[in-house]
Amino acid sequence: MSILSLHNISKRYGAIQALSGVSFEVPPGSVFGILGPNGSGKTTLLGIVTDVLKADEGTYSLFDAPPAGRLRRQIGTLLETPNFYHYLTACQNLQVAAAIKQKPEQDISRVLEIAGLTARQHSRFKTYSLGMKQRLAIASALLGDPGVLILDEPTNGLDPAGIAEVRELVLRLAETGKTIILASHLLDEVEKVCSHVAILQKGKLLLSGPVNEVLAREDYVELSGPDNTVLEAVLARHPAFSHILSRNGHLQVVF
Ligand code: ADP
Protein backbone atom coordinates (compact mmCIF):
# COMPACT_ATOMS: atom_id res chain seq x y z
CA MET A 1 0.00 0.00 0.00
CA SER A 2 1.25 3.52 -0.69
CA ILE A 3 -0.18 6.82 0.48
CA LEU A 4 0.89 8.64 -2.66
CA SER A 5 2.32 7.19 -5.80
CA LEU A 6 3.62 9.37 -8.65
CA HIS A 7 4.08 8.00 -12.16
CA ASN A 8 6.11 10.05 -14.60
CA ILE A 9 4.77 13.46 -13.59
CA SER A 10 5.82 16.38 -15.81
CA LYS A 11 4.86 20.04 -15.66
CA ARG A 12 5.95 23.01 -17.73
CA TYR A 13 5.32 26.74 -17.25
CA GLY A 14 5.89 28.26 -20.70
CA ALA A 15 9.57 27.68 -21.43
CA ILE A 16 10.34 26.41 -17.91
CA GLN A 17 10.23 22.66 -17.42
CA ALA A 18 9.38 22.58 -13.71
CA LEU A 19 9.05 18.78 -13.43
CA SER A 20 10.25 16.04 -15.79
CA GLY A 21 9.07 12.46 -15.46
CA VAL A 22 9.03 12.28 -11.66
CA SER A 23 8.04 8.94 -10.09
CA PHE A 24 8.21 7.79 -6.48
CA GLU A 25 6.06 6.28 -3.76
CA VAL A 26 5.30 7.48 -0.25
CA PRO A 27 4.90 4.57 2.19
CA PRO A 28 2.32 4.75 4.99
CA GLY A 29 3.60 6.07 8.31
CA SER A 30 6.65 7.71 6.73
CA VAL A 31 7.88 11.25 7.17
CA PHE A 32 8.68 11.81 3.53
CA GLY A 33 10.97 14.69 2.62
CA ILE A 34 10.98 16.22 -0.83
CA LEU A 35 14.43 17.76 -0.82
CA GLY A 36 15.88 20.09 -3.41
CA PRO A 37 17.29 23.56 -3.94
CA ASN A 38 14.96 26.50 -4.55
CA GLY A 39 13.42 26.22 -8.00
CA SER A 40 13.80 22.43 -8.17
CA GLY A 41 10.04 21.84 -8.45
CA LYS A 42 9.00 20.97 -4.89
CA THR A 43 6.08 23.40 -4.64
CA THR A 44 4.91 22.47 -8.13
CA LEU A 45 4.90 18.81 -7.12
CA LEU A 46 2.91 19.51 -3.95
CA GLY A 47 0.53 21.71 -5.99
CA ILE A 48 -0.16 18.82 -8.35
CA VAL A 49 -0.84 16.22 -5.69
CA THR A 50 -3.14 18.61 -3.81
CA ASP A 51 -5.06 19.44 -7.01
CA VAL A 52 -4.04 23.10 -7.07
CA LEU A 53 -2.19 22.47 -10.36
CA LYS A 54 -2.64 19.99 -13.20
CA ALA A 55 0.27 17.88 -14.45
CA ASP A 56 0.95 18.03 -18.20
CA GLU A 57 1.84 14.37 -18.22
CA GLY A 58 1.81 11.48 -15.80
CA THR A 59 -0.59 10.27 -13.16
CA TYR A 60 -0.67 9.82 -9.43
CA SER A 61 -2.71 7.80 -7.01
CA LEU A 62 -3.78 8.44 -3.43
CA PHE A 63 -4.17 5.42 -1.15
CA ASP A 64 -3.69 3.19 -4.24
CA ALA A 65 -6.72 4.70 -5.97
CA PRO A 66 -7.29 7.45 -8.54
CA PRO A 67 -7.40 10.80 -6.69
CA ALA A 68 -10.93 11.73 -5.63
CA GLY A 69 -12.48 14.27 -3.25
CA ARG A 70 -13.29 11.55 -0.74
CA LEU A 71 -9.59 10.66 -0.55
CA ARG A 72 -8.43 14.27 -0.45
CA ARG A 73 -10.42 14.82 2.73
CA GLN A 74 -7.96 12.46 4.44
CA ILE A 75 -5.11 14.85 3.66
CA GLY A 76 -4.37 18.03 5.62
CA THR A 77 -2.29 20.66 3.84
CA LEU A 78 -0.15 23.61 4.76
CA LEU A 79 1.14 25.02 1.48
CA GLU A 80 1.36 28.69 2.34
CA THR A 81 1.09 30.74 5.51
CA PRO A 82 -2.57 30.92 6.52
CA ASN A 83 -4.14 34.32 7.06
CA PHE A 84 -4.70 34.32 10.79
CA TYR A 85 -6.32 37.35 12.41
CA HIS A 86 -3.86 39.13 14.66
CA TYR A 87 -6.45 40.41 17.14
CA LEU A 88 -8.27 37.09 17.51
CA THR A 89 -7.09 34.40 19.89
CA ALA A 90 -5.64 31.12 18.63
CA CYS A 91 -8.88 29.39 19.53
CA GLN A 92 -10.99 31.99 17.68
CA ASN A 93 -8.71 31.74 14.65
CA LEU A 94 -9.26 27.99 14.58
CA GLN A 95 -13.02 28.53 14.85
CA VAL A 96 -12.82 30.66 11.71
CA ALA A 97 -10.63 28.06 9.98
CA ALA A 98 -12.97 25.22 10.96
CA ALA A 99 -15.95 27.12 9.57
CA ILE A 100 -14.17 27.86 6.28
CA LYS A 101 -12.89 24.32 5.88
CA GLN A 102 -16.19 22.82 7.06
CA LYS A 103 -14.47 20.83 9.78
CA PRO A 104 -16.07 20.04 13.16
CA GLU A 105 -15.59 22.71 15.81
CA GLN A 106 -15.25 20.00 18.48
CA ASP A 107 -11.93 19.20 16.90
CA ILE A 108 -10.36 22.50 17.95
CA SER A 109 -9.35 21.55 21.48
CA ARG A 110 -7.81 18.32 20.17
CA VAL A 111 -5.60 20.05 17.60
CA LEU A 112 -4.57 22.77 20.08
CA GLU A 113 -3.50 20.01 22.46
CA ILE A 114 -1.49 18.20 19.76
CA ALA A 115 0.25 21.45 18.80
CA GLY A 116 1.05 22.14 22.48
CA LEU A 117 -0.97 25.36 22.48
CA THR A 118 -3.72 24.58 24.96
CA ALA A 119 -2.29 26.81 27.70
CA ARG A 120 -2.08 29.77 25.30
CA GLN A 121 -5.26 29.15 23.31
CA HIS A 122 -6.94 32.31 24.60
CA SER A 123 -3.98 34.56 23.83
CA ARG A 124 -4.18 36.79 20.80
CA PHE A 125 -2.37 35.55 17.72
CA LYS A 126 -0.23 38.70 17.62
CA THR A 127 1.34 37.73 20.96
CA TYR A 128 2.52 34.38 19.60
CA SER A 129 6.16 33.57 18.82
CA LEU A 130 7.06 32.54 15.26
CA GLY A 131 7.16 28.88 16.30
CA MET A 132 3.74 29.11 17.98
CA LYS A 133 2.28 30.76 14.86
CA GLN A 134 3.53 27.93 12.71
CA ARG A 135 2.32 25.31 15.20
CA LEU A 136 -1.09 26.97 15.01
CA ALA A 137 -0.94 26.70 11.21
CA ILE A 138 -0.19 22.99 11.54
CA ALA A 139 -3.02 22.67 14.08
CA SER A 140 -5.33 24.20 11.48
CA ALA A 141 -4.17 21.63 8.90
CA LEU A 142 -4.99 18.91 11.43
CA LEU A 143 -8.68 19.89 11.74
CA GLY A 144 -10.79 16.93 10.67
CA ASP A 145 -8.07 14.50 11.79
CA PRO A 146 -6.47 13.72 8.41
CA GLY A 147 -4.19 10.67 8.32
CA VAL A 148 -1.80 12.47 5.98
CA LEU A 149 -0.25 15.92 6.26
CA ILE A 150 1.42 17.82 3.41
CA LEU A 151 3.67 20.70 4.48
CA ASP A 152 5.60 23.03 2.16
CA GLU A 153 8.82 24.26 3.82
CA PRO A 154 7.31 24.16 7.33
CA THR A 155 10.30 25.77 9.05
CA ASN A 156 10.99 28.51 6.50
CA GLY A 157 11.35 31.95 8.06
CA LEU A 158 11.36 30.66 11.65
CA ASP A 159 13.91 31.45 14.33
CA PRO A 160 15.99 28.57 15.77
CA ALA A 161 13.53 27.99 18.63
CA GLY A 162 10.61 27.90 16.20
CA ILE A 163 12.44 25.48 13.91
CA ALA A 164 13.05 23.13 16.84
CA GLU A 165 9.39 23.35 17.96
CA VAL A 166 8.02 22.61 14.51
CA ARG A 167 10.41 19.70 13.91
CA GLU A 168 9.47 18.25 17.28
CA LEU A 169 5.77 18.56 16.40
CA VAL A 170 6.33 16.79 13.07
CA LEU A 171 8.08 13.93 14.86
CA ARG A 172 5.30 13.74 17.46
CA LEU A 173 2.67 13.56 14.72
CA ALA A 174 4.62 10.80 12.99
CA GLU A 175 4.65 8.84 16.25
CA THR A 176 0.86 8.91 16.27
CA GLY A 177 0.90 7.14 12.90
CA LYS A 178 0.33 10.05 10.55
CA THR A 179 2.12 10.10 7.23
CA ILE A 180 3.82 13.44 6.64
CA ILE A 181 5.05 14.71 3.31
CA LEU A 182 7.17 17.82 3.58
CA ALA A 183 9.16 19.90 1.13
CA SER A 184 12.47 21.32 2.28
CA HIS A 185 15.62 22.81 0.80
CA LEU A 186 17.52 21.89 3.97
CA LEU A 187 19.49 18.69 4.02
CA ASP A 188 19.80 18.77 7.80
CA GLU A 189 16.03 19.12 8.18
CA VAL A 190 15.48 15.94 6.19
CA GLU A 191 18.18 14.16 8.15
CA LYS A 192 16.60 15.18 11.45
CA VAL A 193 12.93 14.50 10.81
CA CYS A 194 12.43 12.33 7.72
CA SER A 195 12.37 8.57 7.34
CA HIS A 196 12.29 8.76 3.53
CA VAL A 197 13.44 11.26 0.95
CA ALA A 198 13.08 12.11 -2.72
CA ILE A 199 15.72 14.51 -3.99
CA LEU A 200 14.77 16.84 -6.82
CA GLN A 201 17.10 18.91 -8.92
CA LYS A 202 15.92 21.03 -11.83
CA GLY A 203 12.62 19.15 -11.88
CA LYS A 204 14.18 15.71 -12.06
CA LEU A 205 14.27 13.01 -9.43
CA LEU A 206 17.85 12.30 -8.44
CA LEU A 207 17.44 9.82 -5.62
CA SER A 208 14.63 8.44 -3.52
CA GLY A 209 14.29 5.90 -0.74
CA PRO A 210 14.77 5.52 3.01
CA VAL A 211 16.90 8.31 4.47
CA ASN A 212 19.25 5.80 6.08
CA GLU A 213 20.06 4.43 2.63
CA VAL A 214 20.12 7.70 0.71
CA LEU A 215 21.65 10.11 3.21
CA ALA A 216 23.19 8.20 6.10
CA ARG A 217 26.60 7.99 4.56
CA GLU A 218 29.70 9.41 6.15
CA ASP A 219 30.20 11.94 3.39
CA TYR A 220 26.64 13.22 3.90
CA VAL A 221 27.16 13.66 7.61
CA GLU A 222 30.42 15.47 7.01
CA LEU A 223 28.99 17.77 4.36
CA SER A 224 25.47 18.29 5.62
CA GLY A 225 24.49 21.89 5.99
CA PRO A 226 21.70 24.28 5.24
CA ASP A 227 22.64 25.67 1.88
CA ASN A 228 22.01 24.55 -1.66
CA THR A 229 25.64 24.57 -2.70
CA VAL A 230 26.32 21.96 -0.06
CA LEU A 231 23.40 19.84 -1.24
CA GLU A 232 24.66 19.96 -4.80
CA ALA A 233 28.19 19.11 -3.66
CA VAL A 234 26.82 16.14 -1.73
CA LEU A 235 24.91 14.88 -4.74
CA ALA A 236 27.90 15.32 -7.02
CA ARG A 237 30.00 13.20 -4.64
CA HIS A 238 27.51 10.39 -4.33
CA PRO A 239 29.15 7.37 -6.03
CA ALA A 240 25.86 5.83 -7.17
CA PHE A 241 24.85 9.15 -8.61
CA SER A 242 28.03 9.57 -10.66
CA HIS A 243 27.84 5.97 -11.78
CA ILE A 244 24.32 6.24 -13.17
CA LEU A 245 25.02 9.70 -14.51
CA SER A 246 28.00 8.50 -16.54
CA ARG A 247 26.21 5.34 -17.61
CA ASN A 248 23.08 6.69 -19.21
CA GLY A 249 23.69 10.39 -19.34
CA HIS A 250 20.72 11.58 -17.32
CA LEU A 251 20.10 12.45 -13.73
CA GLN A 252 17.80 9.72 -12.57
CA VAL A 253 19.02 7.47 -9.78
CA VAL A 254 16.51 5.51 -7.76
CA PHE A 255 17.55 3.32 -4.85
P1 ADP B 1 10.65 24.97 -5.45
O2 ADP B 1 9.40 24.80 -4.67
O3 ADP B 1 11.56 23.77 -5.38
O4 ADP B 1 11.37 26.24 -5.12
P5 ADP B 1 8.91 25.56 -7.72
O6 ADP B 1 8.01 24.40 -7.94
O7 ADP B 1 8.36 26.73 -7.00
O8 ADP B 1 10.26 25.05 -7.01
O9 ADP B 1 9.47 26.07 -9.12
C10 ADP B 1 10.02 25.21 -10.11
C11 ADP B 1 10.35 26.06 -11.33
O12 ADP B 1 9.14 26.51 -11.94
C13 ADP B 1 11.18 27.30 -11.04
O14 ADP B 1 12.04 27.53 -12.12
C15 ADP B 1 10.14 28.40 -10.93
O16 ADP B 1 10.69 29.64 -11.27
C17 ADP B 1 9.11 27.93 -11.96
N18 ADP B 1 7.74 28.35 -11.62
C19 ADP B 1 7.04 28.02 -10.51
N20 ADP B 1 5.78 28.53 -10.55
C21 ADP B 1 5.69 29.20 -11.72
C22 ADP B 1 4.65 29.96 -12.37
N23 ADP B 1 3.45 30.10 -11.79
N24 ADP B 1 4.92 30.51 -13.56
C25 ADP B 1 6.13 30.36 -14.16
N26 ADP B 1 7.16 29.65 -13.61
C27 ADP B 1 6.94 29.08 -12.41
pLDDT in tens, 185-225: 888 889 899 999 998 988 999 888 998 887 655 444 333 34
Helix runs in 61-144, H state only: 69-72, 90-101, 107-114, 130-141
The CA-based angle 152-238-254, given to 5 degrees, is 60
Ligand 1 centroid to Cα of residue 45, in Å, is 10
Ligand 1 centroid to Cα of residue 203, in Å, is 9
pLDDT in tens, 161-187: 999 999 999 999 999 999 999 999 888
d(CA 7, CA 21): 7
Q: Which residues line ligand 1 (CB under 6 A)?
A: 13, 16, 18, 36, 38-44
Least confident range of 33-42, 44-53, 125-134, 219-228: 219-228
Average pLDDT, the chain: 86
Ligand 1 centroid to Cα of residue 19, in Å, is 9
Q: What Rg do the C-alpha atoms of the chain give, in angstroms?
A: 19
**In the predicted model, is pLDDT for residue 247 greater than 50?**
no
pLDDT in tens, 122-153: 999 999 999 999 999 999 999 999 999 999 99
Pairing of strands 57-62, 148-152: unpaired
Nearest-atom index, ligand 1, CA of 38: 4
Please choose, from the candidates 58, 144, 127, the residue with its C-alpha nearest in 3D space to the C-alpha of residue 90: 127
**In the predicted model, is pLDDT for residue 89 greater than 80?**
yes
Residue 112 contacts by C-beta under 8 Å, 6 or more apart in sequence? Answer: 90, 91, 94, 118, 121, 139
| Probe target for ligand 1 pocket from 17, 22, 44, 190, with the most ligand atoms within 8 Å of CB | 44
Question: Model ipTM?
Answer: 0.98
With contact defined as beta carbons under 8 Å apart, do 208 and 201 qualify?
no
d(CA 79, CA 42): 11
Categorize the per-residue pLDDT at 238 as very low, low, confident or very high, splitting at 50, 70 and 90.
low
**What are the boundaries of each domain within the chain?**
1-70+187-255
Nearest-atom index, ligand 1, CA of 203: 10
Bigger pLDDT: 241 vs 38: 38
Nearest CA to ligand 1 atom 14: 39
Distance of CA 238 to the CA centre of its chain: 24
d(CA 57, CA 42): 17
**CATH number of this structure's domain 1-70+187-255, picked from the four choices 3.40.50.300, 3.30.450.20, 3.40.50.720, 2.120.10.30:** 3.40.50.300
